[in-house]
Amino acid sequence: MVTTPGAPPVPSLPAVAPLPTPAATTRAGGDGPAVTPVLAGLAAAFPPAVDQSTLWTDFFATHYRDVRSAGRIFAHAGVRQRHPAINPLVEDISTAGTGDRMRRYLTEALPLGRSAVTAALADAGLSVRDPGLLVVASCTGYVTPGVDIRLAAELGLRDDVQRLLIGHMGCYAALPGLAAVADFVTVHRRPAVLLCVELTSLHLQPASRDLSQVVAHSLFSDAAVAAVLRPAEAAHPVPGLAVVDVAATTDVSTAEQMTWDVTDHGFRMGLSAQVPDTLAGQLPGTVAALLRRHGLAVADVAHWAVHPGGPRILDVVQERLGLSDAALEPSRATLRRHGNCSSGTVLAVLQDLPVRPGERTVALAFGPGLTLYAVLLRAV
């Protein structure tokens, strides 16, 4: 795989003394050698792919026949194929009730989640008996007992494994999930698993003239993506991406620009055209603050894993941070191949980065709030 060139030079941030990384400061209970949480395994599972053009001509052209701009929106979504677990070419669930959709969620989410977690554990060189924590992030379905409990049983995880369910955080959920998993690994010195499983195809809405619905249905897709973190010590290094630091910004005054409402026909997205502009205002300060804490500037970051919320979002990130086309290509490629898979998408981008030891990566994701999350990683 071709190495992504670094970002073009930009004005340096003010020089400050870097804060110690978690590896230099954190010890379980204050005793023992320092522990660094390392992202050591990543894997994704997708339903069968369907071409975007086929979805448009064979279903959505009729579904949105009263919306003149719908064809243009689909054509410019930056998506070439998607992975709908509920394929509208086979099954139109736009008028199904929410209860039926939630029952279907469990049926479809479990095998995808099992496949992703199994592969991620193998990628990290671990067995199902090793993790001490399973975190499941999802905003597209709810069942009790949850996917976390059922999946732990199906996989054969230990009875004492801790579990955490992250719901309704939307597209940025993977990054606070990654932070929670990293904290657990650091404190408890045990591996942990994060699974993002999203089935946006469950929430096909009845036809309407609402352009935000057209945009959502042109972008979103399904996936399960799992990340495994392991504890590393100086005497016992682990290859992967060390989680160095996390930053977040939420502008609650713009909360209504992105919504995800539970209705009688599944979950319905509300999406304002102002979202990219709002995120543009958050980006420079949040990224600068994260990097400044470690004496870094944008030019010191070799790779960018940016959640591909849509082409305009990626354009805004590139412009506001002064990044090259090559720096955003992994995110654009993920959008082309898989669509926007909500929370798991940023992890799918990370999986494809050609990182080398010592290089730094920043992962960025956005969602309701409006919220921006940024994670600094270092290849070890």
Catalytic residue positions, numbered = 171
Q: Which residues contact 111 (CB under 8 A, 6 or more apart)?
A: none
Measured distance CA(200)–CA(255) in Å, rounded: 21
Alpha-helical (H) ranges within the chain are: 22-25, 52-55, 61-63, 70-75, 98-123, 147-155, 174-188, 211-219, 275-292, 311-321, 325-338, 345-351
The two tokens of residue 302 are: 């070799």
| Radius of gyration (C-alpha) of the chain in whole angstroms | 20
Unique residue bearing structure tokens 């030079």: 9
Query: CB of 74 within 8 A of CB of 52?
Result: yes
Question: Closest by alpha carbon to 283, among 186, 194, 362?
Answer: 362
Strand pairing class (258-263; 266-271): antiparallel
